[in-house]
Amino acid sequence: MEARENGGNVRAVVQRVSQAQVDVAGQTVGAIGRGLCVLLSVGEGDGEADLRYIVDKLAGLRIFADDAGKMNLDVTQVAGAVLLISQFTLHGDARRGKRPGFTAAMVPDQARLWVDRCAQALRALQIPVQQGSFGADMQVALTNDGPVTILLDSHKTF
């Protein structure tokens, strides 16, 4: 599904991992083995098409190796999981000055709902999902497998 022409954009940094976990105040709140660690930021003005684009990409992204060693398998085909972590700083704009601005990020109360909707949509596709704690000071630890890191943007700017 195509993303909208106007408004915000959902951004994600996707890392193929052999394991990942997120801790808050010294306690693990989410952890996975093989799968995807996804840092997700929702932009002001995002719509249903933006969310659907990201969910479809995450579910179908073929970045896991098949028997021939080629990246041909998606997270469901390797019985993987997703660790989904909200990270509004992906909408940081540092083009001017040295302090980034975050006005393009969706306001927190709305963004929390969108992140939860993303997790629910992935679970509806039978993908196990763990989440960080929205708005918390989180520590993320992972083993990037490959390394493989993909940037996604619902407006396809990269």
Q: What is the pLDDT of residues 49-81, one digit of tens each?
A: 999 999 999 999 999 999 999 999 999 999 999
3-state secondary structure of 55: helix
Give residue 4's pLDDT.
Answer: 39
pTM here? 0.92
Q: Which segments of 19-131 does DSSP mark as H helices, in order?
A: 48-60, 108-124
Q: Verify whether residue 158 is a known catalytic residue.
A: no
The pLDDT tens digits for 1-27 are: 344 344 478 999 999 999 999 999 999
- The three-state secondary structure class of 116 is helix
21/28 Cα distance (integer angstroms): 7
87 labelled catalytic: yes
Q: DSSP character for 80? A: -
Show the domains of the chain with their CATH numbers: 11-153 (3.50.80.10)
* Active-site hit among 89, 120, 143, 149: 89
